[in-house]
Structure 1
Amino acid sequence: MASLTSMTLRGVTFLVTALAVAGCAGPQIEPLMPTPILFSELNLSPLDNIPEDQRWKPRKVYYATTRQRDVDLQRINYGNDESDVISAGMSLIGFGGDSLTWSDLSDYSRSAERPNVVELSVAGLLEAGKFRPSMEGPVSENAAEGLAWLMADMNRSIASARDKDLLIYVHGAKVNFYNANAFAAQLDHFMGRDMTSIAFSWPTRQNILSYGIGDDVDRAYRAAPSLASLIEVLAGQSDARRINIVCWSAGGRVVTSALEELYNRNKGSGQDPREQFRLGTVYFAAADVPTSDFVEALPEINGLVDRVVVTLSSKDGALDMGSTFMGGGARIGQKSQDLTEEALNTLIAADRLEVIDVSRDWEGRGFDITGHRYWINHPWASSDLVLAVRSDLRAKERGLEPTELDVLWAIPADYPERLKSLLTREGVRLREVSTADDAN
């Protein structure tokens, strides 16, 4: 994502003024995720290659949301009500307080242990406009014409970035609009602050009961056509090389349904869907998607994307409870599953699928990788996410260990050493991984 230096002086003034008018979003705090080991083991910082004139702690993230904007003249706020339009704009995410320097942030971002917590907060919001999603066929060419200046700003961001990809983050249940933006910003941060990132926020409520009884599950599926329409707009109007997606937990339902719909409502276009939509890596982290639903949608998803990555763990309490009390069978983020022969054959036939069992061979490592936030909280798991999105490297090239199934991979005990070898052989460093893509 481009720094503010890539914008015109007039554009900078407009953004700063708009954020000042919008006002602070309030005490919405998210701690910066632990440092992935690909940085801590090699003593690299994701900020090492940011030019001096771009070393500004806050980070700009674009957003698209199907939350209804609250009627509040003091500041922009998106609540829990559903909207029939997509609101889009940009947010400014602060990293740490005034006492935290750029040098501190860079050091903390390479360190396995930090002396202080780095808090992320929404410093301001700017809404650019709205557009109506398509609920049946492809979105119309002029659907988002009111967002012309936002798309122009996004394309300037893409043009000035070393990595020309877009990253869409789709959150899980029980979070608010601000959480989605903060998560997108910290993923962007550890991608080297050199991609253009978008938070897609769907209107889940901030209590697990709403999800557990199924109301927010329905909301997830109702948000899927909007995500499909957003992808169509980005593919048609952005200059992105690839559009990547990272989804977590219930966000996996939104993404699964959106991609299935995107494929089906455009399959009569006569175009190659991979060329048409330029979808790169779609990363399902600890996803609360019923396995039967995912397997059914997988052929369409496989026909759309460059790569599908699914992570699973042996001990994910949220998914265990969900499959037990909500019904729908096992989830794709769960390790223990009884797959039918037909389902297994569908998985094997998906030539772009990588399933990563983060618990496999945990005895050899001496620890398991568990919980529902392991994909962002465990430095080994988050390292693969960064590499999978920031490069075109396949699982084996990212240091993962093959298993008896072609689609199934494990994180080996010598994973840190493999990362060191990967990122240092022939002088290759993390900062150069994305540029190596262009030769492929």
Structure 2
Amino acid sequence: MFFYNRPVVLQKAVLMSTPLIFRDKLSKPYDSLPQDVAPPFLDIFYATDRMPTDMAIINPIYYGNNRSSSLSLGLATVQFGDEDMAWNAVEKASFQKDRDIDVPLQITEIKELSTIGNASKFLKHPVNRDADKPDDFMASIKRRLSNSDSKSIYIFVPGFKVDFAYPVLLAAELWYYLGYPGAFIAYSWPSGQRIRDYLSDVETTAFTAQHFRMLLIYLANETDVEAIHILSYSAGARIVSQALHELRLMTHGFSNSKLEKTLKIDQVIFAAPDIDMMLFGARYRDGFEDIARNITIYTNANDTALNWALRFFGWPRLGAPGEMGITPEDLQPYKIFDKTRIIDVAAAEATASGNGHGYFVKSPWVSTDLILTLKYKINPFERGLYKDTKEAIWKFPDTYFQRIKKIVNKNP
């Protein structure tokens, strides 16, 4: 076990926009805290195949951009607010539409607990770890689940141009607004932080998909988890879709009920998916959809980042419909799959902010829909959306805020 504790801040960010469902305390994410959660510090699990870096003072990030042949598993402590902010001030700001103050987030501690994966053949040995060493990561996951009313594990898989810390900090935000259910894992794959790293990062997504697949098997086999939920963002869609596609090929002949019992994969969400539309469709035709109980695909015509990717690769991106991207006709093959819901977010608040790509945390409407999907597993109509019967795509109505208020009043 490696332990890394520094008196300086490892990485900083600012708390995401308040989801609509929590604005001005319309509702609260939790009634009481699990006994092992002690704000303002949250312990977020992580899995990374980034190579560890030198811990020198000039480079305080513990994991760099180089690829590792194994998957490091551990805990990162995230602090909400700073030393001068009381927790009630953090909570108050987190529920405000227009905040009086920013709420900084920072990683203060990293503990590497276990490592899995090596050079042996994963098809024969899906999870490889040294059996002679204690599995501190698995013990921590089991302890976390035992202290929670929810036996769910949530995994966030980011896009490219981020460092080790980004998915950890974002996972902390999402876990907070979900109300601390189950266990939350940040999957930090070895992307670079420059635009020019895009092509090499695309290749790295194919490399890391094997490790992600291994992580899913490890969690399903070694814990008493009842549901594994996956949220992928941008290029993270490549990793998740490839891993689930490979799992379906490995379990050829399994019935849907056996797949659910064996892999326990529940909600799979693709937010702003930066993946070739036809490649994604090819994976569907191999039965990719059978792996999960439900699949949600978010698309946004305001997403200029994906329109740029379309021009670069020459093929439509799954997450960018419209003139420069996919059309309703392109989406037609997915409409025959009962488990898959396509949601057009273009009419939602703040989905054109910046380059229109990070709307899943920038838009209070979309983040609300994510929370309702992950926490309550209810269908789009129950979440306040309406179905465009012509396009067979779900959309946000102008009256979304009123619908959310009714949902909250009906289910306080």
Q: For 1:331, which of 317, 324, 331 is the aligned residue? A: 317
Alignment CA distance shift 1:239-1:407 (3 Å): farther
Measure, in 1, the Cα distance between the counterparts of 2:344 and 2:295.
14
Query: What is the aligned partner in structure 1 of residue 192 from structure 2?
Result: 205
Is residue 292 of structure 1 aligned with residue 242 of structure 2?
Answer: no
Alignment CA distance shift 1:198-1:176 (3 Å): same
Q: Do 1:172 and 1:251's aligned partners in 2 also have CA atoms closer than 8 Å?
A: yes
Q: For 2:259, which of 273, 296, 301 is the aligned residue? A: 273
Q: Do 1:25 and 1:124's aligned partners in 2 also have CA atoms closer than 8 Å?
A: no
Alignment CA distance shift 1:32-1:266 (3 Å): same
Aligned residue for 1:71, secondary structure, equals coil
Measure, in 2, the Cα distance between the counterparts of 1:233 and 1:292.
30
Q: For 1:9-408, list aligned pairs within 5 A.
A: 22-24=5-7, 26-40=9-23, 43-50=26-33, 54-72=37-55, 77-132=62-117, 137=123, 139-140=125-126, 143=129, 145=131, 146=133, 148-211=135-198, 214-267=199-252, 272-299=258-285, 300-325=287-312, 327-336=313-322, 337-338=325-326, 344-359=331-346, 362=347, 369-370=351-352, 371-404=356-389, 407-408=392-393
Question: RMSD of the TM alignment (CA)?
Answer: 2.5
Aligned residue for 2:284, secondary structure, equals helix
CA drift of 1:424 comes to 1.8
CA drift of 1:239 comes to 1.6
CA drift of 1:268 comes to 5.2
String of CA shifts for 1:212-257, please: whole Å, max 9, x gaps.
xx11100111110100000000010122110001111111111111
Measure, in 2, the Cα distance between the counterparts of 1:138 and 1:340.
42
Q: Do 1:41 and 1:416's aligned partners in 2 also have CA atoms closer than 8 Å?
A: no
CA drift of 1:81 comes to 0.4
Identity of aligned residues (%): 27
Measure, in 2, the Cα distance between the counterparts of 1:111 and 1:377.
14
Aligned residue for 2:351, secondary structure, equals coil
Aligned residue for 1:176, secondary structure, equals coil
Aligned residue for 1:128, secondary structure, equals strand
Q: Which runs of 5+ in 1 are unaligned?
A: 1-14, 430-440
Alignment CA distance shift 1:98-1:291 (3 Å): same
String of CA shifts for 1:325-370, please: whole Å, max 9, x gaps.
2x151111102145596x64530221111111011xx3xx7x6622
Alignment CA distance shift 1:76-1:333 (3 Å): closer
Measure, in 2, the Cα distance between the counterparts of 1:238 and 1:52.
20
CA drift of 1:406 comes to 7.7
Measure, in 2, the Cα distance between the counterparts of 1:147 and 1:261.
29
Measure, in 2, the Cα distance between the counterparts of 1:240 and 1:216.
31
CA drift of 1:139 comes to 4.1
String of CA shifts for 1:117-158, please: whole Å, max 9, x gaps.
111111100001211167652644664744622212111111
Hey, which of these two has a bigger chunk of helix by percent? 1
Q: Do 1:290 and 1:328's aligned partners in 2 also have CA atoms closer than 8 Å?
A: no
Q: Do 2:5 and 2:108's aligned partners in 1 also have CA atoms closer than 8 Å?
A: no
Alignment CA distance shift 1:91-1:138 (3 Å): farther
CA drift of 1:181 comes to 0.6
The size of the alignment, in residue pairs, is 401
- Structure 2 residue identity aligned to 1:37: L
String of CA shifts for 1:11-54, please: whole Å, max 9, x gaps.
xxxx9xx86x5325645111110000011165333254326995
Measure, in 2, the Cα distance between the counterparts of 1:50 and 1:201.
27
Q: Which runs of 5+ in 2 are unaligned?
A: none
Measure, in 1, the Cα distance between the counterparts of 2:406 and 2:304.
35
Q: Do 2:15 and 2:94's aligned partners in 1 also have CA atoms closer than 8 Å?
A: no
